[in-house]
Structure 1
Amino acid sequence: MTSSSTFQFKSVNYTAPQPGPRVIIMGATHGNEKCGTVAIGRVMEEIDSGRLAITAGSVTFVPVVNPKAYQQNTRNGDRNLNRNLFPKDAPQDFEDHIANWLCPLLARHDVLLDLHSFNASGGLPFVMVGPLNNDGALQPFQHAEKERAWARRLGVKRFVDGWLAAYGDGVKRRSRGDAAELETVLRYGVGTTEYMRTTGGYALTLECGQHDEAAAPEVAYRAIVNTLAHLGLTGAPDPEPVPFEEMEALSMVVVHDKFDADDRFTRNWASFDPVHEGDQIGVRADGTPVTAQFSGRILFPDAKANANSEWYYLTRPNPSFGRE
C-alpha cells in the first residue's frame, strides 16, 4: 500500500492586478475522472503562452485533487473524497489529509467549478446545482441566482438540483431518532460544492460525459473558458445562456432505499432513463413490486447497493429552473 507521504498536493494560481472574483477550478476529485485534468492543463498552457490573459480577479487551478486515486486510476484512494468533506483533527485515511489541505483552500475562494465524468456511456453532460436561497438548517444559501445564471453558461443543457435535500430526507427516514447519528450521516452528504457553500461561496459540479469519451475534455475546457468570461476574469464577452426552451431541468425528489440484499432491479437502469408513473422499477426480496410513484427520470441507480442504503433516486421536471 502506497504511503500518503508519497503524494503532494498542487495548486496553481493566476492573479490579475485588477480586483475581481476568486475562482477555483478542480479536476480529478475522483481519480479516474480525468477530463478536468486535461482541460485544466490546456487552459493553463494558454495562459502561460499569453494566448489567454487573466485581467481581473484570480483563478486557482487544482489539476489533480486526489493524487493517490489518480495514480491508481481509481475513483477513490481510500474512500470517496466527495462525501464527508470536512477538516479532520485526527485524519484516518488519505482523503482526510486531502480535506485538511483542500477545505482551507476552498474557503479562500468565492466560486468553485468541480469537473467530473461518469461511468455509463451515451449520457449527456449535466450540471449539479445547489438549492434556492434559504435560511434552513440543512444547507443555508444566498447565491442561487448567481449560481443558476452561471450554470446556464457552461455550455450544457441538462441541469439537476435537489441533491442534498433528497439525500437528507432519506437519512432522516433511516435514522433511529439519534440526533448525533443523524448529524453524522448528514455530514456524509457534504462534498466539494456543499462545503464551498458552507464558506459563503457558490459552486457547480459539472459531469462532462463518460470517463473515456473524447468529447469530455472539450466539454470541460469550454466550461472553464465560459466560466472565466462570465465571471469577468478574462474580459471576453459573457457567453449567451442556454435558451430556456433548450434546457432539461430536473429536481431530485425522493431517494428509495434497498431494504434487503436480495432486492433487485427488473432491468439494468442507467441514470436519466425515463420512467412513467406505475412503471415497475424493481422487486423486493419478498416479491413486492417497486413502482414509480410519478413520471420523471431515474438517477444514480445502484444495483450493488447494500441493504438499508440508497438504491435509486427519482427526479421530476423543474420547468421553473432559472426563472425562480
Structure 2
Amino acid sequence: MTVSTAALTASDTLRIHAYAAIEPGPKFIVLGGVHGDETCGTAGIERAVAELDDGRLRLLRGQLTMVPVANPLARRRGRREGERNLNRLFEPSAPGMEPADYEARITNLLCPLLDRHEVLLDLHSFQSAGEAFAMIGPRDNTGTLEPFARAFEEGQLALHLRTPRVVEGWLDIYAAGVAQRAGGKPVDPVQVAFGKGTNEYMRSRGGYGVTLECGQHEDPAAPGVAYEAILSALRLLGMIAPEPGALPPPKPSLLRLVSVVDRFHEEDQFVREWATFDPVSRGDPIAVREDGSVLHSERDGFIVFPNAEALPGTEWFYFAVNSDRDLTQQPR
C-alpha cells in the first residue's frame, strides 16, 4: 500500500547537496542511506559536505552531487526498507502510471538525478561481521541481461577505494536465483528487473558505478571508510587535489559470486555464526534445514552476505569463488 501524504513528515524530504566547479569535468554522484539501517554512508557524506562548505575541501573541476539519506522513510523507521527494498526494481514508473509504493516515488526522484551523472558511488553496510569490500558489475559484453562497455573505468574506481576484496557477478546470480525459485521455468523479466539497483540503472544509462560495503552496520570504523572512499573517488576523477606521496592502490582479492541459497523455513539454521568472506572447503557443513538435511559446500569458496534473520523464501547466503579477472588490465 502506498504511504499516504498525511503519513509523511518533514524528515521524508530528500536532501540533496550539489556542487559545481567552474572548470568542466566528471559528473559524480554519491548515495548514502539507500537502506535505512545503514548509516555509515550518511555519516561519510555529511563529513565531506561539511568540509566542502567550510573550504577545507575544494572542488577543482566537474560536478558533485551527494544524497546523505536516499530512503527517508526507511531511515525514519530505523530499518532496511520503508515499504520495500529501494535497491531493487530501481527504474522510473512507466509514463502515466502512479508509483506503486513509497520506494517507487523515491526512485522517480533519484533516476532523473542519476541521469545527469556518469559515475556513481553507492555507500552501504551489511548485517553480518566482515571487512569492507566493493561490488562491481559485469565485464564488457553485448548480452541481453546487462550489456556494458565501461568495465575498466569501473574497475579502476573499485581499485582506488582500496578495499581488501572486490566482488563481481551480482545480477547474473540474482537472475539464476529467480530461475531457481521458478523451478527452471522461463524467467519473468519483471522478477529479474527486481534485482536491478542503483548501479545497474547507472550502467543502463551509459555510466558506471560501484557499491561500497563499508563494513558491519554498527562498525565504528565504517563511517570513516565511507568518507575516505568519497575522497579517493574524487582524487581518481581529478575533482580534488591529489594526496601528496600517495602510493598506488594495492591489488585486492577478486571474488565472483556463483550461487545463492534461500532460506525455506524459519527453523533452517546455520551450523555456526558465519561472517562475510569466511572461507569454506568442499564438503564443509554450512547449514541445517528444518528437516535435518545438511547443506555442504560443493566446492572451495567463501560465504557472502549470510543472513541468519532471513525470512523464509528469501536469500539466506551467497557463495563466491576466486575470480580470474584482472582489474588493472585495459581491454584490447
Q: Shared topology, TM-score over 0.5?
A: yes
Contact in 2 for aligned 1:260/1:284 (Cα 8 Å): yes
For structure 2, the 5+ residue unaligned runs are none
Q: CA deviation at 1:306?
A: 4.6
Contact in 2 for aligned 1:149/1:241 (Cα 8 Å): no
Q: Is 1:99 the equivalent of 2:107?
A: yes
Equivalent residues in 2 for 1:224-243, closer than 5 Å: 224-236=230-242, 240-243=247-250
Q: Is 1:124 the equivalent of 2:131?
A: yes
Q: Distance in 1 between matches of 2:148 and 2:294?
A: 39
Q: Secondary structure at 1:134's aligned position in 2?
A: coil
Match of 1:173 among 180, 187, 190: 180
Q: Is 1:206 the equivalent of 2:212?
A: yes
Contact in 2 for aligned 1:40/1:61 (Cα 8 Å): yes
- CA deviations over 1:57-89 (Å, ceiling 9, x no partner): 110011111111222222211111111111123
% identity of equivalent residues:
44
Root-mean-square deviation (CA, aligned residues, Å) is 2.1
Q: What is the match of residue 144 of structure 2?
A: 137
Q: CA deviation at 1:285?
A: 4.0
Contact in 2 for aligned 1:230/1:237 (Cα 8 Å): no
Q: Is 1:56 the equivalent of 2:61?
A: yes
Q: Is 1:42 the equivalent of 2:50?
A: no
Q: Distance in 2 between matches of 1:176 and 1:280?
A: 24
Q: Which moved more, 1:37-46 or 1:185-194?
A: 37-46
For structure 1, the 5+ residue unaligned runs are none
Q: Secondary structure at 1:57's aligned position in 2?
A: strand
Match of 2:118 among 110, 119, 137: 110
Q: Distance in 1 between matches of 2:231 and 2:50?
A: 13
Match of 1:253 among 258, 265, 268: 258
Number of corresponding residues: 320
Q: Distance in 2 between matches of 1:214 and 1:256?
A: 30
Q: Which moved more, 1:99-108 or 1:296-305?
A: 296-305
Q: Distance in 2 between matches of 1:108 and 1:223?
A: 21
- CA deviations over 1:184-203 (Å, ceiling 9, x no partner): 11011011111111111100
Q: Is 1:20 the equivalent of 2:25?
A: yes
Q: Distance in 2 between matches of 1:126 and 1:321?
A: 16
Contact in 2 for aligned 1:4/1:94 (Cα 8 Å): no
> In structure 1, what residue type is equivalent to 2:124?
H
Q: 1:61 to 1:309 in 2, by over 3 A?
A: closer
Q: Is 1:278 the equivalent of 2:283?
A: yes
Q: Secondary structure at 2:188's aligned position in 1?
A: helix
Q: What is the match of residue 3 of structure 1?
A: 7
Q: What is the match of residue 72 of structure 1?
A: 77
With structure 2 as the length reference, what TM-score do the two structures score? 0.89
Q: 1:237 to 1:100 in 2, by over 3 A?
A: same
With structure 1 as the length reference, what TM-score do the two structures score? 0.91
Q: CA deviation at 1:221?
A: 0.9
Q: Distance in 2 between matches of 1:11 and 1:153?
A: 25
Q: 1:220 to 1:14 in 2, by over 3 A?
A: same
Q: 1:321 to 1:67 in 2, by over 3 A?
A: same
Q: Is 1:187 the equivalent of 2:193?
A: yes
> In structure 1, what residue type is equivalent to 2:274?
W
Match of 1:164 among 138, 163, 171: 171
Contact in 1 for aligned 2:33/2:71 (Cα 8 Å): yes
Q: Distance in 1 between matches of 2:220 and 2:307?
A: 26
Q: Which moved more, 1:164-173 or 1:15-24?
A: 164-173
Contact in 2 for aligned 1:152/1:241 (Cα 8 Å): no
- CA deviations over 1:33-77 (Å, ceiling 9, x no partner): 111111111111211122211111110011111111222222211
